[in-house]
Each structure stands twice: as C-alpha cells, then as structure tokens.
Amino acid sequence: MAVMKVIEVLSSSPKSWEDATAKAVKQASKSLKNIKSVYVQEQSAVVEDGKVTEYRLNLKLTFQVN
C-alpha cells in the first residue's frame, strides 16, 4: 500500500497558467520526490492597463511518501 501526501502550493507566471503549473512542479521537485499529480484548485490573474500581466495558481501536489 502506498502512502500519499498532499501539499498546497502557490505559483505565478507572466506567460500562462500552464507555465505557472510547470514552474510549481519543477520547483517542488527539487525537494519532493515521487510527485504523482497536480490539482489546480484556483486560478486568478492580475490585470494592468487592460492587459493580463500575471497568471496565478493555487494548486495541490500529491506525492508518494516512502
């Protein structure tokens, strides 16, 4: 039986929500091993002068605990 743990992570990107997700996984994988899935809980964006300048995510990462 595998034991899984879920942590909440915040991430942002000036490019896209997909880029913010990739950045979160890349950064988390530096200290967490066996990341199995990511669940995007919330999305938001910063708008300045009528343009989106930052994409923000609140996501949950699931990883296996050995």
pTM as predicted: 0.88
What span, in angstroms and rounded, lies between the C-alpha atoms of 18 and 21?
5
- pLDDT recorded at residue 1: 87
- pLDDT recorded at residue 34: 94
Q: How many CB atoms lie within 10 A of CB 11?
A: 22
**Total number of domains constituting the chain:** 1
- pLDDT recorded at residue 49: 97
What span, in angstroms and rounded, lies between the C-alpha atoms of 55 and 16?
6
pLDDT tens digits for range 15-38: 999 999 999 999 999 999 999 999
The CATH number given to whatever domain includes residue 29 is 3.30.1660.10
Q: Which domain holds residue 52?
A: 3-65
